[in-house]
Amino acid sequence: MKIVVLSRNPNLYSTRRIMEAGEQKGHEMHVVDHTKCDIIIEKRRPAISYRHQLLTGVDAVIPRIGASVTFFGTAVVRQFEMMKVFTAIESQALMRSRDKLRSLQVLSRAGLGLPKTVFTNYSKNVDDVIKHVGGAPLVIKLLEGTQGLGVVLAETDNAAESVLEAFNGLQARVIAQEFIKEAKGADIRAFVVDGVVVGAMKRQGKKGEFRSNLHRGGTAEIIELSEDEENAAIKAARIMGLGIAGVDMLQSERGPLILEVNSSPGLEGIEAATGKDIARSIIRYVERNA
């Protein structure tokens, strides 16, 4: 098959691993920078031009769309869908996953466990926001933040008030979430491919850091999920409509709580922690569906 990986950088670990896994299975693999594609819209003849040539004969696309270029990247994925090309991550699911507020609403409607979350329209009644999530300590997150950026732990009510007022003054969209103390600065990343958990790791924040992101200096180790955790991860990916997903969860006294469902999860941390060939699982998923 001719498989296109949509990625801005062919040297990224995840992109390289997917390319290697596809080539090992005998597929014709190509990296295409989606930000340099031209979308050609014409009656019954949708097309994509890349580096002065039309992309033709493509059997499948594996999107690796960064958050900063979600709008155009999604448009490119949608164009491939119009060209009847199988996409490992559908455009609608990609857009849904990038809207953190909408994602939480969708997951809540499906009955999945979540940390209590409050979102307001720059409300001046920050006391009410703090009260609704159970008081300090609480977590305040930028809606557009990634890799732990734009996430603040407010340890007192006064600190929470100051942070919320500052963000509101800048007209920055934020959500406030309850702090899950028993998680002890750790979370779980479950990697789901085609409705199956193909790998899971527990990420622990470095000393004095409540964010467990590996980009922030956290560490990761393999973990065996409980039945509830595995079911929650699979259901979250399915509800979001994602064939490939990184589901981030907290372990709490009331069961697994979903933090986020990532539509372009990185492979480096999960493959290193688990020793599993996640890239190969992605290629097999494409083979089954394209």
| Residue 90 contacts residue 59 (beta carbons within 8 Å) | no
Query: Which tokens sit at 115?
Result: 């940390």
The pLDDT of residue 261? 97
Kindly list the distances between the CA atom of residue 144 and the CA atoms of 150, 151, 233, 234, 243, in Å, as whole numbers in the listed order. 8, 10, 22, 24, 23
CATH of 117-179, one of 3.30.1490.20, 3.20.20.70, 3.40.50.1970, 3.40.50.300: 3.30.1490.20
Enclosing H/E stretch for 74: helix 70-82
Kindly list the distances between the CA atom of residue 9 and the CA atoms of 14, 78, 129, in Å, as whole numbers in the listed order: 10, 21, 41
Amino acid at 90: E
Architecture per CATH, 182-289: 2-Layer Sandwich (3.30)
Smallest CA-to-CA distance from 120 within 171, 175, 178 is with: 175
CATH of domain 2-89: 3.40.50.20
Determine the Cα–Cα distance for residues 256 and 115; give it in Å rounded to an integer: 10
Tell me if the pTM is above 0.75: yes
180: nearest Cα among 126, 255, 234: 255
Structural domain boundaries in the chain: 2-89, 117-179, 182-289
Of the chain, the end-to-end C-alpha distance in Å amounts to 9
pLDDT at residue 246 in the model: 97
Task: Specify the pLDDT at position 151.
Answer: 87
Task: Report d(CA 207, CA 41) in Å as an integer.
Answer: 52
Q: Which residues of the chain have pLDDT under 70?
A: 145-148, 207-217
Query: What is residue 210's predicted lDDT score, i.e. its pLDDT?
Result: 59
Q: What pLDDT score was predicted for residue 218?
A: 74
Residue 136 is predicted with a pLDDT of 92
Do residues 185 and 205 touch, judged by C-beta distance below 8 A?
A: yes
Tell me: the pLDDT tens digits for 208-254?
A: 555 656 655 578 899 999 999 999 999 999 999 999 999 999 999 99
